[in-house]
């Protein structure tokens, strides 16, 4: 994604021969845009692979995990409670990592594109997608346990799908070749924060880090 203020001129690469461009599959290249740098191409590859992982995680959320046969004895009830508490804790930690990665990505791309640390942006993207992948596994187990106890696990699966969708939309907006206004990335990041909070509310946890919400509101101004 290109930052608004600096504009394409800041890359100072207009004289690079067209033949030397190596545009990764899935990128949109426009004639008036300078070629992507090798660092931007690497980030594009990271985003594309991360989007595939996010979409796979989203697709996996159609079904609950299969639980082992559980009785009503004390041992089964203790196992169920421990697994639910453990899953909630892990999901919360993973959601926090997703929102932290989102804030990092927004912060790292705020300046002149020519000075952006694309390697660090790629690390933030990988953090987001890897934690979402792991989170989806915990959500499937917790949703199954909730259903087993008469709760509504489907709502939890739906909230997790919404978060995956919000992350996917944000990653699309963060593509280096994207020419959309930066405001679109900020809006997408805000949607990730909102979806994260809704997911946590379904597992009875507190909302996402208020500092993240405050930060996103500030950078939108």
Any idea where the domains of the chain sit in the sequence?
Answer: 35-58+72-220
Does the pLDDT of residue 206 top 80, yes or no? Answer: no
Mean of the per-residue pLDDT values of the chain: 83
pLDDT in the model for residue 29? 40
Percentage of the chain exceeding pLDDT 70: 78
Q: Return the HEC string of the chain.
A: CCCCCCCHHHHCCCCCCHHHCCCCCCCCCCCCCCCCCHHHHHHHHHHHHHHHHHHHHHHHCCCCCCCCCCCCCHHHHHHHHHHHHHHHHHHHHHHHHHHHHHHHHHHHCCCCHHHCCHHHHHHHHHHHHHHHHHHHHHHHHHHHHHHHCCCCHHHHHHHHHHHHHHHHHHHHHCCCCCCCCHHHHHHHHHHHHHHHHHHHHHCCCCCCCHHHHHHHHHHHC
Contact 82, 3 (CB under 8 A): no
Asked if the 35-58+72-220 domain carries CATH number 1.20.1420.10, the reply is yes
Does the pLDDT of residue 209 top 70, yes or no? Answer: no
pLDDT in the model for residue 16? 38
26/83: higher pLDDT: 83
**Tokens of residue 4, six digits:** 């608004």
Among 134, 104, 99, 130, residue whose Cα is nearest residue 208: 99
């Amino acid at each position: 994604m290109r930052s608004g203020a600096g504009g394409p001129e800041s890359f100072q690469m207009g004289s690079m021969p067209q033949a030397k461009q190596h545009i990764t599959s899935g990128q949109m290249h426009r004639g008036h845009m300078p070629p992507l740098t090798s660092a931007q191409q690497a980030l594009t590859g990271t985003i594309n692979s991360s989007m595939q992982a996010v979409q796979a995680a989203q697709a996996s959320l159609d079904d609950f995990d299969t639980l082992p046969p559980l009785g009503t004895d004390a041992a089964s009830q203790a196992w169920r409670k421990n697994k639910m508490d453990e899953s909630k804790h892990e999901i919360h930690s993973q959601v926090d990592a997703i929102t932290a990665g989102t804030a990092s990505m927004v912060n790292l791309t705020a300046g002149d594109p020519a000075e952006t640390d694309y390697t660090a942006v790629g690390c933030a993207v990988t953090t987001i997608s890897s934690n979402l992948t792991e989170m989806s596994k915990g959500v499937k187990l917790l949703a199954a346990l909730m259903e087993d106890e008469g709760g509504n696990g489907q709502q939890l699966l739906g909230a997790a799908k919404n978060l995956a969708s919000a992350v996917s939309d944000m990653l699309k907006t963060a593509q280096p070749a994207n020419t959309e206004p930066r405001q679109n990335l900020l809006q997408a990041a805000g949607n990730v924060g909102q979806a994260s909070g809704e997911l946590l509310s379904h597992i009875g946890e507190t909302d996402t880090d208020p500092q993240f919400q405050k930060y996103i509101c500030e950078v939108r101004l």
